[in-house]
Structure 1
């Protein structure tokens, strides 16, 4: 038998879930229970719950994730920020201020555990929340601040920033800082910096000299 949406119940389920989110009922986990659990609790069809959840997504209260429970995005109203929300807010501020530049690597879970004295599970919820919001992207098991100019690739973001620095005169015609120094400046790995430099080399903006380093092409950065 095909399940149908109960329009009357759908509105009730949506309102109740919205109330619980605002009151912080699910703050401990930062996630909503599975659809099957909610359907059983409310005594409705799974499709009715799914429609309610989709409405919460549209309202910006939650975000769906492939193969994982729905994440709560909205902060609780009248409830102090949870531990994972505090971490997410701190990282958001670092990204927005440029302390973690576009394409820059976000501190590892283990580093954040040590910094905040929280469990890895709590830190992971904060990072997952930032991923769902598009503030952070994950590649090859590592997380980076979303890239500049619509790019979320770390090396492309570094290339964009280097190009801007060259054209504004920060790096005048001559030798660029070493790869290790640039990696530290942009908070990315040395291979990421090298990939960005190679990309700029292809445009003619810079060139390399074996055993000497990278240089700004004549006429650039002046």
Structure 2
């Protein structure tokens, strides 16, 4: 049985490694299996730790590749969601997307910007909080008539 708080301890250890530069921006994290074996826990425990780091924007999942520390690769991924939000806000402001029209899907934005789904969701949340868009579950992000 895994000790209580093991996922928190693993997440904290990885946080420190990222902050201290042991894990460089753009570098791949060890696999779930590798981390589980190293810490003597289940893969599920490791997944919980990694999910926490992804939600904090410290790491991202790259489908078919694995998890990487944000940053590097010529793109500052720690601010990628801001760049996406700014790009979309500019397209809304210049009329590319009219009031009531749908923005590209999360999947399309993930592919276009080569970021994780969490990064796209953070960008859409920024736009929603700024009232540029209204997010409708099952429909997507719609341009709000408030800012048009």
TM-score (norm 1): 0.37
Q: Larger relative CO (CA 8 A, sep 6+): 1 or 2?
A: 2
TM-score (norm 2): 0.50
Decide which structure has the larger Cα Rg and report it: 1
